[in-house]
Amino acid sequence: MLAEVDEQREQLRAAAQELNSATVEVTSTDRLVRVVVNARGMLTDLHIDPLALRRHRADQLATLIRNLVERADGELTSRRNQLVTAIVQDQGPHLRDLD
């Protein structure tokens, strides 16, 4: 049983490393704006096609960028939840095993 605990701990450590280095890239539907967000939800890269500056007013562009960052952060949160859930569900020990 201690081996199972050690294995689960190692899987959680590996998952944490993976999540800490994860990034998500999201592109606008018109493909003119692209954002990259890191695991902390911070914008790490932003690409704005010059055409976007002609198609969108400044306030529209700001809203678009904010929405893309929120979407990317949501994808990272979902990925983190799926990874942790998979580890917890697939591994023991459970409290009933400690009796």
Please report, for the domain that includes residue 79, its CATH number.
3.30.1310.10
Residues 45-65: tens digit of each pLDDT: 999 999 999 999 999 999 999
Residue 13 covered by a domain: no
Residue 79 covered by a domain: yes
Number of domains present in the structure of the chain:
1
Domain containing 38 equals 24-87
The answer to whether 74 and 66 have CB atoms below 8 angstroms apart is: no
Residue 68 covered by a domain: yes
Instruction: Say if residue 95's pLDDT is above 50.
Output: no
Residue 50 covered by a domain: yes
pTM: 0.75
Phi, psi of 49, rounded to the nearest 5 degrees: -65, 140
Q: How far apart are CA 58 and CA 88, in angstroms?
A: 45
